[in-house]
Amino acid sequence: EGEFLGLSDFSVKEVQINIEDKAIVTAYEHILGVKAVGNNIELPNLRLVFYEDEGPDLSASVDEKLDLMLLRFQVSQDFDLVRFAESLSTDKLYLDRKAKTLAVDIPQHMELWFTKQGL
């Protein structure tokens, strides 16, 4: 039969994220600079929907489960990732030497990556 060659063009409109602790929503608000309305964070072209729940999969260490590990956001070439990184009050981040990729860790959850367009 025909071999699957992958998707050529698609977009994601909504990401549903299961969380154990509402504090994770606060971390997203701080990093993204957007206030949640209920359990939703509205971004241009993307909605993040948080579902608070309990369970061993949500409380397990990120090293012990197979789950979504990161969300990647593309920013324009002129976006100042150095200044953005300095504005975040966390030591849980990595900015590459050329300041083209910033990874911010939300402990016991996932990473948010901000990359310059074209990477």
* Least confident range of 23-27, 30-34, 40-44, 86-90: 86-90
Q: Is the pTM of this model over 0.85?
A: no
Give the C-alpha separation, 58 to 38, whole Å: 20
DSSP, residue by residue, 13-48: -EEEEEES-THHHHHHHHHHT---BTTEEEETTEEE
Task: Taking residues 11-35, report their average pLDDT.
Answer: 91
Among 21-35, 46-60, 78-92, 97-111, whose mean pLDDT is lowest? 46-60
1-19 residue pLDDT tens: 678 888 877 888 999 998 8
CA–CA distance, 51 with 30 (Å, rounded to integer)? 18
Tokens 């949640």 correspond to what residue? 36
pLDDT digits over 85-115, tens only? 999 977 789 999 999 999 999 877 889 999 9
Going from N- to C-terminal start, the domains of the chain cover 12-52, 67-119
Q: What is the DSSP string of 83-118?
A: HHHHHS--S-EEE-TTS-EEEEEETTTEEEEEEETT
Helix (H, G, I), strand (E, B) or coil at 16: strand
- DSSP state, 77? T
